[in-house]
Amino acid sequence: MKIGLAGYSGSGVTTLLALLSEDPELVNRHGGPEVRSITVDDPRLDRLVELFKPKKITPLQVEIIELGDLRPQEGGGLRKETLARSGGLDALVLVLRGFDAPMSQGCRQVKELSDEFESLLQEFAIADLMPIENRLERLGKEGKLASREAQLLTRLREGLEEGLPIRRMGLDREELRALSGYNFLTLVPLTVVASVGAEGAPALVYGDLDDRCSREGMSYVEISVLAEFETLEIPEDERGLFLADLGIKVPARERFMGTLFTRLTLATFFTVGEKEVHAWAIPEGTPAARAAGKIHTDLERGFIRAEVIAYDECIALGGLNQAKEVGKLRIEGKDYIVKDGEIFHVRFNV
Protein backbone atom coordinates (compact mmCIF):
# COMPACT_ATOMS: atom_id res chain seq x y z
CA MET A 1 0.00 0.00 0.00
CA LYS A 2 1.33 3.40 -0.95
CA ILE A 3 0.35 6.57 0.89
CA GLY A 4 1.34 10.08 -0.18
CA LEU A 5 1.95 12.84 2.39
CA ALA A 6 1.28 16.30 1.03
CA GLY A 7 1.50 19.70 2.66
CA TYR A 8 3.05 23.08 2.19
CA SER A 9 6.62 23.49 3.29
CA GLY A 10 6.68 24.16 7.04
CA SER A 11 3.42 22.32 7.78
CA GLY A 12 5.15 19.54 9.65
CA VAL A 13 5.07 16.86 6.93
CA THR A 14 8.56 15.57 7.68
CA THR A 15 7.96 15.64 11.44
CA LEU A 16 4.85 13.53 10.91
CA LEU A 17 6.76 11.03 8.77
CA ALA A 18 9.52 10.89 11.41
CA LEU A 19 6.90 10.18 14.07
CA LEU A 20 5.10 7.52 12.03
CA SER A 21 8.31 5.75 11.10
CA GLU A 22 9.85 6.31 14.57
CA ASP A 23 12.92 7.69 12.89
CA PRO A 24 13.86 10.93 14.73
CA GLU A 25 16.89 11.50 12.50
CA LEU A 26 14.60 12.18 9.58
CA VAL A 27 13.97 15.77 10.66
CA ASN A 28 17.67 16.54 10.31
CA ARG A 29 17.86 15.45 6.70
CA HIS A 30 17.25 18.10 4.13
CA GLY A 31 17.99 16.24 0.93
CA GLY A 32 14.48 16.20 -0.47
CA PRO A 33 11.33 14.16 -0.16
CA GLU A 34 11.75 10.92 1.78
CA VAL A 35 10.06 7.52 1.72
CA ARG A 36 9.58 5.21 4.69
CA SER A 37 8.02 1.83 5.06
CA ILE A 38 6.07 1.34 8.25
CA THR A 39 4.68 -1.77 9.81
CA VAL A 40 1.05 -1.90 10.85
CA ASP A 41 0.85 -3.48 14.28
CA ASP A 42 -1.92 -6.02 14.65
CA PRO A 43 -2.36 -8.07 17.85
CA ARG A 44 -4.08 -10.78 15.79
CA LEU A 45 -0.88 -11.33 13.85
CA ASP A 46 1.04 -11.71 17.12
CA ARG A 47 -1.39 -14.38 18.34
CA LEU A 48 -1.19 -16.27 15.04
CA VAL A 49 2.58 -16.20 15.28
CA GLU A 50 2.39 -17.73 18.77
CA LEU A 51 0.13 -20.42 17.43
CA PHE A 52 1.95 -21.35 14.23
CA LYS A 53 5.54 -20.47 15.21
CA PRO A 54 6.46 -19.69 11.59
CA LYS A 55 9.99 -19.21 10.26
CA LYS A 56 8.96 -15.92 8.71
CA ILE A 57 6.56 -13.20 9.84
CA THR A 58 5.23 -10.62 7.40
CA PRO A 59 3.11 -7.88 8.94
CA LEU A 60 1.28 -5.35 6.80
CA GLN A 61 3.66 -2.82 5.37
CA VAL A 62 2.64 0.62 4.27
CA GLU A 63 4.90 2.78 2.18
CA ILE A 64 4.63 6.46 3.02
CA ILE A 65 6.11 8.97 0.64
CA GLU A 66 6.52 12.70 0.91
CA LEU A 67 5.26 14.33 -2.24
CA GLY A 68 7.62 17.25 -1.85
CA ASP A 69 7.20 20.93 -2.53
CA LEU A 70 3.60 21.82 -3.22
CA ARG A 71 4.09 25.47 -4.00
CA PRO A 72 2.80 26.15 -7.48
CA GLN A 73 5.43 26.77 -10.08
CA GLU A 74 5.56 29.82 -12.28
CA GLY A 75 2.69 29.54 -14.70
CA GLY A 76 0.76 27.43 -12.16
CA GLY A 77 0.80 23.75 -11.38
CA LEU A 78 2.88 21.43 -9.31
CA ARG A 79 6.50 20.54 -9.92
CA LYS A 80 7.20 17.67 -12.30
CA GLU A 81 9.04 15.76 -9.57
CA THR A 82 6.05 16.02 -7.26
CA LEU A 83 3.74 14.69 -9.94
CA ALA A 84 6.16 11.90 -10.76
CA ARG A 85 6.08 10.78 -7.12
CA SER A 86 2.33 10.73 -6.93
CA GLY A 87 1.59 7.85 -9.31
CA GLY A 88 -0.18 4.76 -8.00
CA LEU A 89 -1.17 6.17 -4.61
CA ASP A 90 -3.78 4.31 -2.56
CA ALA A 91 -4.42 7.34 -0.39
CA LEU A 92 -3.40 10.93 -0.13
CA VAL A 93 -2.90 12.58 3.24
CA LEU A 94 -2.98 16.35 3.49
CA VAL A 95 -0.99 17.74 6.37
CA LEU A 96 -2.22 21.10 7.60
CA ARG A 97 -0.31 23.44 9.85
CA GLY A 98 -2.53 23.67 12.88
CA PHE A 99 0.20 24.60 15.35
CA ASP A 100 1.25 28.06 16.31
CA ALA A 101 4.96 28.64 15.78
CA PRO A 102 7.05 31.23 13.98
CA MET A 103 7.30 30.51 10.28
CA SER A 104 10.73 30.03 8.88
CA GLN A 105 11.76 31.95 5.82
CA GLY A 106 10.49 30.85 2.48
CA CYS A 107 7.41 29.20 3.98
CA ARG A 108 3.96 30.16 2.97
CA GLN A 109 2.03 32.24 5.50
CA VAL A 110 -1.40 30.85 6.19
CA LYS A 111 -3.84 32.37 8.61
CA GLU A 112 -6.58 29.82 8.53
CA LEU A 113 -6.36 26.11 8.26
CA SER A 114 -9.30 26.07 5.91
CA ASP A 115 -7.51 28.46 3.52
CA GLU A 116 -4.53 26.17 3.47
CA PHE A 117 -6.85 23.27 2.82
CA GLU A 118 -8.71 25.03 -0.03
CA SER A 119 -5.53 26.07 -1.63
CA LEU A 120 -4.06 22.54 -1.53
CA LEU A 121 -7.22 21.14 -3.06
CA GLN A 122 -7.05 23.75 -5.81
CA GLU A 123 -3.51 22.80 -6.61
CA PHE A 124 -4.50 19.16 -6.99
CA ALA A 125 -7.39 20.16 -9.23
CA ILE A 126 -5.06 22.24 -11.41
CA ALA A 127 -2.59 19.38 -11.55
CA ASP A 128 -5.38 17.12 -12.84
CA LEU A 129 -6.67 19.70 -15.33
CA MET A 130 -3.34 20.03 -17.12
CA PRO A 131 -3.18 16.56 -18.73
CA ILE A 132 -6.90 16.78 -19.52
CA GLU A 133 -6.45 20.05 -21.40
CA ASN A 134 -3.45 18.66 -23.24
CA ARG A 135 -5.25 15.53 -24.29
CA LEU A 136 -8.38 17.41 -25.34
CA GLU A 137 -6.31 19.78 -27.42
CA ARG A 138 -4.71 16.83 -29.13
CA LEU A 139 -8.04 15.09 -29.73
CA GLY A 140 -9.37 18.38 -31.11
CA LYS A 141 -6.55 18.58 -33.62
CA GLU A 142 -7.26 15.03 -34.68
CA GLY A 143 -10.96 15.84 -35.07
CA LYS A 144 -11.93 13.38 -32.35
CA LEU A 145 -13.86 15.61 -29.98
CA ALA A 146 -16.96 13.47 -30.42
CA SER A 147 -15.14 10.38 -29.19
CA ARG A 148 -16.04 8.72 -25.91
CA GLU A 149 -12.69 9.63 -24.47
CA ALA A 150 -13.10 13.30 -25.32
CA GLN A 151 -16.59 13.35 -23.86
CA LEU A 152 -15.41 11.79 -20.65
CA LEU A 153 -12.49 14.20 -20.36
CA THR A 154 -14.77 17.15 -21.05
CA ARG A 155 -17.01 16.00 -18.24
CA LEU A 156 -14.02 15.79 -15.92
CA ARG A 157 -12.85 19.24 -16.93
CA GLU A 158 -16.25 20.76 -16.22
CA GLY A 159 -16.39 19.04 -12.83
CA LEU A 160 -12.92 20.12 -11.84
CA GLU A 161 -13.62 23.70 -12.89
CA GLU A 162 -16.64 23.67 -10.61
CA GLY A 163 -14.41 22.52 -7.75
CA LEU A 164 -15.47 18.88 -7.76
CA PRO A 165 -12.74 16.27 -7.23
CA ILE A 166 -12.81 13.43 -9.77
CA ARG A 167 -13.53 10.86 -7.04
CA ARG A 168 -16.90 12.55 -6.48
CA MET A 169 -17.98 12.58 -10.11
CA GLY A 170 -19.71 9.20 -9.93
CA LEU A 171 -17.58 7.49 -12.54
CA ASP A 172 -18.35 3.86 -13.26
CA ARG A 173 -15.87 1.03 -13.39
CA GLU A 174 -15.33 1.23 -17.12
CA GLU A 175 -14.72 4.97 -17.01
CA LEU A 176 -12.27 4.53 -14.16
CA ARG A 177 -10.42 1.90 -16.14
CA ALA A 178 -10.20 4.24 -19.13
CA LEU A 179 -8.62 6.87 -16.87
CA SER A 180 -6.17 4.64 -15.04
CA GLY A 181 -3.17 5.89 -17.00
CA TYR A 182 -3.60 9.48 -15.81
CA ASN A 183 -2.84 9.07 -12.10
CA PHE A 184 -5.30 11.79 -11.21
CA LEU A 185 -4.68 13.20 -7.74
CA THR A 186 -8.29 14.17 -7.06
CA LEU A 187 -9.30 10.58 -7.67
CA VAL A 188 -7.28 9.29 -4.72
CA PRO A 189 -9.10 8.98 -1.36
CA LEU A 190 -8.21 11.87 0.91
CA THR A 191 -7.44 12.03 4.59
CA VAL A 192 -6.67 15.29 6.37
CA VAL A 193 -4.24 15.45 9.27
CA ALA A 194 -4.19 18.67 11.24
CA SER A 195 -0.84 18.88 12.97
CA VAL A 196 -1.83 20.58 16.23
CA GLY A 197 -0.11 21.72 19.40
CA ALA A 198 -0.34 19.51 22.45
CA GLU A 199 -3.42 21.31 23.72
CA GLY A 200 -4.93 21.78 20.28
CA ALA A 201 -5.05 25.11 18.49
CA PRO A 202 -7.75 27.76 19.00
CA ALA A 203 -11.09 26.70 17.60
CA LEU A 204 -11.31 29.56 15.13
CA VAL A 205 -8.40 28.25 13.14
CA TYR A 206 -10.18 25.02 12.41
CA GLY A 207 -13.48 26.47 11.38
CA ASP A 208 -15.71 23.67 10.23
CA LEU A 209 -12.98 21.59 8.65
CA ASP A 210 -13.99 18.36 10.31
CA ASP A 211 -17.65 18.81 9.30
CA ARG A 212 -16.64 19.67 5.79
CA CYS A 213 -14.40 16.60 5.59
CA SER A 214 -17.12 14.24 6.72
CA ARG A 215 -19.64 15.86 4.35
CA GLU A 216 -17.33 15.29 1.43
CA GLY A 217 -16.20 11.79 2.31
CA MET A 218 -12.76 12.66 3.66
CA SER A 219 -11.38 11.59 7.02
CA TYR A 220 -10.11 14.20 9.43
CA VAL A 221 -7.79 13.59 12.33
CA GLU A 222 -5.88 15.91 14.68
CA ILE A 223 -2.46 14.80 15.81
CA SER A 224 -0.11 16.54 18.25
CA VAL A 225 2.79 15.71 16.02
CA LEU A 226 5.67 17.56 17.63
CA ALA A 227 4.70 16.71 21.21
CA GLU A 228 4.47 13.05 20.37
CA PHE A 229 7.60 13.19 18.23
CA GLU A 230 9.51 14.39 21.27
CA THR A 231 8.50 11.27 23.20
CA LEU A 232 10.43 9.12 20.69
CA GLU A 233 13.58 9.64 22.73
CA ILE A 234 11.92 8.06 25.77
CA PRO A 235 12.34 4.26 26.00
CA GLU A 236 9.33 2.58 24.48
CA ASP A 237 8.07 0.90 27.65
CA GLU A 238 7.92 4.25 29.46
CA ARG A 239 6.47 6.24 26.59
CA GLY A 240 2.88 5.46 27.45
CA LEU A 241 3.09 7.44 30.69
CA PHE A 242 4.41 10.53 28.96
CA LEU A 243 1.79 10.30 26.26
CA ALA A 244 -0.92 9.96 28.91
CA ASP A 245 0.47 13.10 30.56
CA LEU A 246 0.03 14.92 27.27
CA GLY A 247 -3.53 13.66 27.10
CA ILE A 248 -2.71 11.31 24.23
CA LYS A 249 -4.56 8.03 24.69
CA VAL A 250 -3.91 6.41 21.34
CA PRO A 251 -0.50 6.88 19.69
CA ALA A 252 -0.37 8.72 16.37
CA ARG A 253 0.61 5.72 14.31
CA GLU A 254 -2.38 3.74 15.50
CA ARG A 255 -4.75 6.65 14.93
CA PHE A 256 -3.25 7.40 11.56
CA MET A 257 -3.51 3.80 10.34
CA GLY A 258 -6.96 3.39 11.88
CA THR A 259 -8.20 6.47 10.05
CA LEU A 260 -6.73 5.26 6.78
CA PHE A 261 -8.19 1.79 7.13
CA THR A 262 -11.62 3.25 7.78
CA ARG A 263 -11.33 5.76 4.97
CA LEU A 264 -10.14 3.15 2.52
CA THR A 265 -12.54 0.57 3.98
CA LEU A 266 -9.84 -2.05 4.11
CA ALA A 267 -9.97 -5.52 5.55
CA THR A 268 -7.04 -7.64 6.68
CA PHE A 269 -6.75 -11.34 5.99
CA PHE A 270 -4.02 -13.77 6.99
CA THR A 271 -2.21 -16.66 5.42
CA VAL A 272 -0.66 -19.00 7.97
CA GLY A 273 1.66 -21.98 8.18
CA GLU A 274 4.97 -23.19 9.54
CA LYS A 275 6.84 -21.33 6.83
CA GLU A 276 5.16 -17.97 7.13
CA VAL A 277 2.40 -16.00 8.81
CA HIS A 278 1.48 -13.10 6.56
CA ALA A 279 -1.03 -10.23 6.88
CA TRP A 280 -2.62 -8.80 3.72
CA ALA A 281 -4.84 -5.77 3.16
CA ILE A 282 -7.71 -5.76 0.66
CA PRO A 283 -10.64 -3.42 0.07
CA GLU A 284 -13.73 -4.58 1.97
CA GLY A 285 -15.98 -6.61 -0.30
CA THR A 286 -13.15 -8.25 -2.24
CA PRO A 287 -14.07 -11.69 -3.64
CA ALA A 288 -11.88 -14.68 -2.76
CA ALA A 289 -10.25 -15.08 -6.19
CA ARG A 290 -9.15 -11.46 -6.28
CA ALA A 291 -7.87 -11.66 -2.71
CA ALA A 292 -5.87 -14.72 -3.80
CA GLY A 293 -4.42 -12.62 -6.61
CA LYS A 294 -3.02 -10.30 -3.98
CA ILE A 295 -0.85 -13.21 -2.78
CA HIS A 296 0.18 -14.22 -6.30
CA THR A 297 -1.35 -13.73 -9.75
CA ASP A 298 -1.17 -17.53 -10.31
CA LEU A 299 -3.43 -18.02 -7.32
CA GLU A 300 -6.09 -15.85 -8.92
CA ARG A 301 -5.70 -17.39 -12.37
CA GLY A 302 -5.77 -20.94 -11.18
CA PHE A 303 -8.12 -20.43 -8.24
CA ILE A 304 -10.10 -23.56 -7.37
CA ARG A 305 -11.37 -22.87 -3.87
CA ALA A 306 -10.32 -21.35 -0.58
CA GLU A 307 -10.33 -22.88 2.89
CA VAL A 308 -11.46 -20.17 5.26
CA ILE A 309 -11.87 -19.70 8.98
CA ALA A 310 -12.52 -16.67 11.17
CA TYR A 311 -9.62 -15.48 13.32
CA ASP A 312 -11.42 -16.04 16.65
CA GLU A 313 -12.44 -19.53 15.69
CA CYS A 314 -8.94 -20.47 14.58
CA ILE A 315 -7.49 -19.28 17.88
CA ALA A 316 -10.21 -20.98 19.94
CA LEU A 317 -9.72 -24.32 18.15
CA GLY A 318 -5.94 -24.09 18.25
CA GLY A 319 -5.09 -24.37 14.55
CA LEU A 320 -6.25 -25.33 11.08
CA ASN A 321 -5.96 -29.11 11.49
CA GLN A 322 -8.06 -28.98 14.65
CA ALA A 323 -10.57 -26.81 12.80
CA LYS A 324 -10.71 -29.27 9.93
CA GLU A 325 -11.32 -32.20 12.30
CA VAL A 326 -14.42 -30.56 13.74
CA GLY A 327 -15.57 -29.40 10.30
CA LYS A 328 -15.02 -25.71 10.97
CA LEU A 329 -12.72 -25.08 8.04
CA ARG A 330 -15.12 -23.74 5.41
CA ILE A 331 -14.70 -24.32 1.69
CA GLU A 332 -15.51 -21.20 -0.31
CA GLY A 333 -15.65 -20.44 -4.03
CA LYS A 334 -14.17 -17.59 -6.06
CA ASP A 335 -17.02 -15.15 -5.42
CA TYR A 336 -16.97 -15.54 -1.65
CA ILE A 337 -16.41 -12.15 0.01
CA VAL A 338 -13.40 -12.30 2.30
CA LYS A 339 -14.08 -10.85 5.78
CA ASP A 340 -11.73 -8.90 8.01
CA GLY A 341 -9.53 -11.18 10.11
CA GLU A 342 -10.13 -14.37 8.17
CA ILE A 343 -7.48 -16.98 7.67
CA PHE A 344 -7.34 -17.98 4.11
CA HIS A 345 -5.76 -20.92 2.30
CA VAL A 346 -6.00 -21.08 -1.49
CA ARG A 347 -6.19 -24.27 -3.52
CA PHE A 348 -5.18 -23.58 -7.08
CA ASN A 349 -4.03 -25.18 -10.26
CA VAL A 350 -2.14 -23.51 -13.09
Chain contacts with ligand GDP (rule: CB under 6 A): 7, 9-15, 99, 101, 195, 197, 225-226
Interacting partner of 15 out of Mg ion, ligand GDP, none (Cβ under 5 to 8 A depending on kind): ligand GDP
Least separation in angstroms between CB 11 and Mg ion: 8
Nearest residue (CB) to Mg ion, 30 versus 173: 30
Name the minimum Å distance from CB 101 to ligand GDP.
4
Q: Which of Mg ion, ligand GDP, none is residue 226 near (CB under 5 to 8 Å by kind)?
A: ligand GDP
What is the rounded distance in angstroms from the CA atom of residue 174 to the CA atom of residue 107? 42
Is residue 15 part of the contact set for Mg ion (CB under 5 A)? no
Report how far residue 337's alpha carbon sits from residue 320's, in angstroms, rounded to the nearest whole number.
20
**Are the C-beta atoms of residues 66 and 81 closer than 8 Å to each other?**
no
Q: Which does 346 bind (CB under 5 to 8 A by kind): ligand GDP, Mg ion, none?
A: none
Q: How many CB atoms lie within 10 A of CB 348?
A: 17
Instruction: Compute CA distances 253 → 161, 183, 197, 223, 266, whole Å.
Output: 36, 27, 17, 10, 17
Whose Cβ is closer to ligand GDP: residue 123's or residue 342's?
A: 123
At closest approach, how far in Å is the CB of 27 from Mg ion?
Answer: 8
- From CA 344, how far away is CA 48, in angstroms rounded? 13
The 10 Å Cβ neighbour count of residue 153 is 22
Judged by beta carbon distances under 5 to 8 A according to partner kind, the member of Mg ion, ligand GDP, none in contact with residue 197 is ligand GDP
225 touches, from ligand GDP, Mg ion, none (C-beta below 5 to 8 Å by class): ligand GDP
- Any contact of residue 82 with Mg ion (CB under 5 A)? no
CA gap 23, 26 in Å, rounded: 6
* Nearest-approach distance from CB 109 to ligand GDP, in angstroms: 14
Sequential DSSP letters for 62-83: EEEEE----SPPTTSS--HHHH
Query: What's the rounded Cα separation, in Å, for the pair 15 and 44?
Result: 29
Residue 219 touching Mg ion (CB under 5 A): no
72-75 contacts: CB < 8 A, separation 24 or more?
72/123, 72/126
Candidate ranges 8-16, 53-61, 87-95, 160-168; the one touching Mg ion (CB under 5 A): 8-16
Cα separation, 277 vs 299, whole angstroms? 17
With CB under 5 to 8 Å by kind, the binding choice for 286 among ligand GDP, Mg ion, none is none
- Residue closer to ligand GDP, measured from CB, 206 or 270: 206
Nearest residue (CB) to ligand GDP, 97 versus 278: 97
Nearer to ligand GDP, 94 or 226 (CB): 226
* Contacting residue, 4, 5, 14, 64, with Mg ion by CB under 5 A: 14
Using alpha carbons only, how large is the chain's radius of gyration in Å?
A: 23
Binding site for Mg ion (CB under 5 A): 13-14
